[in-house]
């Protein structure tokens, strides 16, 4: 006898991430019957508030507030407890705010497509099916497991989630990969007091950034005591009783580094393997990303994909914009598209943070553009006393300007408050505000933004 519970909805959302939950709220408020399926009760709200942006940036805050007299292990344990309290509150709030609505239901379990309108959740007597004319896929991404001999079997391998929840501060943390995730954890754990080694396969860190900016960032990290080994290819990992021995090759020679914890920060891939997308006729790329058009419709027009799962930029705020596009498709005039996005900024939360937007100098010159470059070290910016008042004068600000139009083509800001300054710059780029206008604007004092009054006039090339 079939005991499956069959449910129907106007819209089915698979995944409780930023894009999915934002769309679910808007659709519910518009009178639609919405069912949202999330595979884990520890992920209500998605990656950002649970294991991503919120806990890691909270750890940045805690690590930077550590005093010399604080005992490292106890301070770290207290910090982790603070992170747990906040993420638990966010998780509960996310669940209650959606499930508490009259026309919304949250189901916890892994969804798998049965056909293009139906998913199955659970097995046996607990099996539920949900059928809907419109489906949103918002399952996010998952870490890429590197093919390194011995890594999977090592007792000392940790994930980013493990590091967020672990109560013990590693004595020596090795990080394989010098991308955003790797460098953020390197900075955090070094500030907490751990020894940190970063093994990066490329010849330098931040290979996508201009060399001068990357060198300043690398110098700051190294100055904080982080051991950085570039041009290093990790070939194997073996365990001893007390640590992992990581073997790497650099310049044709084999070397080892010992660590009592290591993180493989080698990127993330769309989380689609368990969805059985072929059953719904939804096409994916070779990497597993759901293929979408500029309105985020998949190969089945009634199925949308939002956030990391569609292979776009892996940022929470991009997932939010994905939700705006889908909401416009379902409730609006359907004109909003991914092609509307201009000057999307990004921030690497090392200390101080590095925020960038638009073109690098290298990219602009490769395109043959007629440019001017404005650049100044933070320590030399007279118009930015805030850097001195908070005792953080490390870094550099660099702007790429169109010499013919005076428009800003790109910026790299490595400084205190960079994550805030970059939003002003990005808005100016979207609205085609000239560099001169931005330079001559009135800003509060003392603030970091007023550095624009000076730096945009320091032309170096």
Whole-model pTM?
0.93
**Rounded to whole angstroms, how far apart are CA atoms 409 and 358?**
6
Annotation-wise, does 159 bind a ligand? Answer: no
**Rounded to whole angstroms, how far apart are CA atoms 380 and 132?**
60
Question: 13 φ, ψ to 5°?
Answer: -115, 125
Question: 25 φ, ψ to 5°?
Answer: -60, -45
SS (H, E, C) 159-207: CHHHHHHCCCCCCEEEEECCCHHHHHHHHHHHHHCCEEEEEECCCCCCC
pLDDT in tens, 121-151: 988 778 999 999 999 999 999 988 888 999 9
Annotation-wise, does 177 bind a ligand? Answer: yes
Question: What tokens does 21 get?
Answer: 């939950």
Asked if residue 358 lies in contact with residue 410, where contact means CB atoms within 8 angstroms, the answer is yes
Dihedral sign from CA coordinates of 330, 332, 335, 338: negative
* Confidence at residue 43, expressed as pLDDT on a 0 to 100 scale: 85
Strands 195-200 and 227-230: parallel
Annotation-wise, does 334 bind a ligand? Answer: no
Annotation-wise, does 18 bind a ligand? Answer: no
DSSP assignment of 51-87: HSHHHHHHHHHHHHT--TTS-HHHHHHHHHHHHHHHH
Residue 425's nearest CA partner among 339, 343, 369 is: 343
Strands 128-131 and 118-121: antiparallel
Annotation-wise, does 276 bind a ligand? Answer: no
Asked if residue 7 lies in contact with residue 130, where contact means CB atoms within 8 angstroms, the answer is yes
Dihedral sign from CA coordinates of 335, 337, 341, 346: positive
291-322 CB burial, b ≥16 within 10 A, e <16:
ebeebbbbbeeebbbbbbbbbbebbbebbbbb
Asked if residue 69 lies in contact with residue 361, where contact means CB atoms within 8 angstroms, the answer is no
**Rounded to whole angstroms, how far apart are CA atoms 136 and 36?**
9
Alpha-carbon distances, residue 303 vs 113, 117, 263, 277 (angstroms): 12, 9, 35, 11
* Confidence at residue 45, expressed as pLDDT on a 0 to 100 scale: 87
Annotation-wise, does 139 bind a ligand? Answer: yes
From first to last of its 461 residues, the chain has per-residue pLDDT tens of 456 899 999 999 999 999 999 999 999 999 999 999 999 888 888 888 887 888 898 889 989 998 888 898 999 999 999 989 999 999 989 889 998 999 999 999 999 999 999 999 988 778 999 999 999 999 999 988 888 999 989 999 999 889 988 889 999 999 999 999 999 999 999 999 999 999 999 999 999 999 999 999 999 999 999 999 999 999 999 999 999 999 999 999 999 999 999 999 998 999 999 999 999 999 999 999 999 999 999 999 999 999 999 999 999 999 999 999 999 999 999 999 999 999 999 999 999 999 999 999 999 999 999 999 999 999 999 999 999 999 999 999 999 999 999 999 999 999 999 999 999 999 999 999 999 999 999 999 999 999 999 999 999 98
Q: Which CATH architecture has domain 346-455?
A: 2-Layer Sandwich (3.30)
Q: Which CATH architecture has domain 157-266?
A: 3-Layer(bba) Sandwich (3.50)
* Confidence at residue 1, expressed as pLDDT on a 0 to 100 scale: 45
* Confidence at residue 2, expressed as pLDDT on a 0 to 100 scale: 58
* Confidence at residue 95, expressed as pLDDT on a 0 to 100 scale: 86
Mean per-residue pLDDT of the chain: 95
Chain centre to alpha carbon of residue 328: 25
Residue spans per domain, the chain: 5-142+269-340, 157-266, 346-455
* Confidence at residue 448, expressed as pLDDT on a 0 to 100 scale: 97
* Same fold? 5-142+269-340, 346-455: no
Annotation-wise, does 57 bind a ligand? Answer: yes
Burial environment of residue 420 by CB neighbours within 10 A (0 to 12, 13 to 18, 19 or more): middle
Annotation-wise, does 46 bind a ligand? Answer: no
Annotation-wise, does 339 bind a ligand? Answer: no
pLDDT in tens, 330-376: 999 999 999 999 999 999 999 999 999 999 999 999 999 999 999 99
Catalytic residue annotation? 445
* Residue reference for tokens 């999307």: 344
Question: 58 φ, ψ to 5°?
Answer: -70, -35
* Confidence at residue 47, expressed as pLDDT on a 0 to 100 scale: 83
Annotation-wise, does 193 bind a ligand? Answer: no
To the question of domain 5-142+269-340 being in CATH 3.40.50.300, the answer is no
């Amino acid at each position: 006898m079939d005991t499956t519970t069959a449910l129907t909805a106007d819209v089915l959302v698979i995944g409780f991430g930023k894009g999915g939950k934002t769309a679910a709220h808007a659709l519910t408020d518009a009178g639609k019957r919405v069912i949202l399926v999330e595979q884990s009760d520890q992920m209500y709200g998605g990656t950002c508030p649970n294991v991503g942006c919120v806990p890691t940036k909270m750890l940045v805050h805690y690590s930077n507030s550590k005093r010399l007299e604080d005992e490292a292990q106890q301070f770290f344990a207290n910090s982790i407890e603070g992170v747990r309290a906040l993420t638990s509150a966010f998780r509960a709030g996310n669940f209650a705010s959606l499930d508490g609505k009259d026309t919304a239901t949250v189901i916890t379990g892994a969804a798998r497509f049965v056909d293009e309108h139906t998913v199955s959740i659970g097995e046996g007597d607990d099996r539920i099916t949900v059928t809907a004319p419109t489906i949103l896929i918002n399952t996010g991404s998952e870490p890429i497991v590197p093919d390194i001999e011995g890594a999977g079997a090592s007792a000392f391998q940790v994930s980013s989630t493990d590091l967020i929840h672990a109560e013990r501060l590693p004595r020596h943390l090795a990080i394989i990969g010098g991308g955003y995730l790797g460098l953020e954890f390197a900075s955090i754990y070094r500030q907490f007091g751990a020894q940190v080694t970063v093994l990066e396969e490329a010849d330098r860190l931040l290979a996508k950034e201009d060399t001068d900016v990357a060198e300043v960032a690398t110098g700051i990290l190294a100055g904080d005591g982080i051991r950085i080994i570039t041009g290093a290819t990790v070939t194997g990992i073996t365990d001893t009783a007390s640590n992992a021995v990581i073997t790497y090759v650099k310049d044709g020679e084999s070397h080892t580094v010992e660590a009592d914890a290591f993180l493989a920060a080698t990127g993330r891939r769309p989380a689609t393997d368990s969805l059985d997308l072929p059953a719904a006729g939804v096409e994916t790329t070779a990497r597993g990303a759901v293929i979408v058009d500029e309105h985020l419709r998949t190969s089945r027009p009634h199925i949308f994909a939002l956030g990391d799962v569609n292979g776009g930029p892996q940022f929470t705020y991009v997932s939010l914009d994905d939700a705006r596009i889908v909401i416009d498709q379902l409730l609006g005039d359907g004109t909003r598209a991914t092609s509307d996005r201009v000057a999307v900024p990004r921030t690497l939360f090392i200390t101080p943070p590095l925020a960038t937007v638009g073109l690098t100098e290298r990219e602009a010159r490769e395109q043959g553009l007629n440019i001017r470059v404005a650049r100044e070290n933070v320590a030399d910016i007279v118009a930015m006393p805030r850097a001195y008042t908070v005792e953080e004068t490390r870094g550099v600000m660099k702007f790429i300007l169109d010499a013919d139009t005076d428009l800003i083509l790109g910026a790299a800001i490595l400084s205190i408050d960079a994550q805030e300054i970059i939003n002003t710059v990005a808005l100016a780029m979207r609205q085609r505000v000239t560099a001169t206008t931005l330079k001559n604007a009135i800003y509060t004092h003392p603030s970091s933004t007023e550095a624009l009054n000076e730096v945009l006039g320091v032309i170096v090339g």
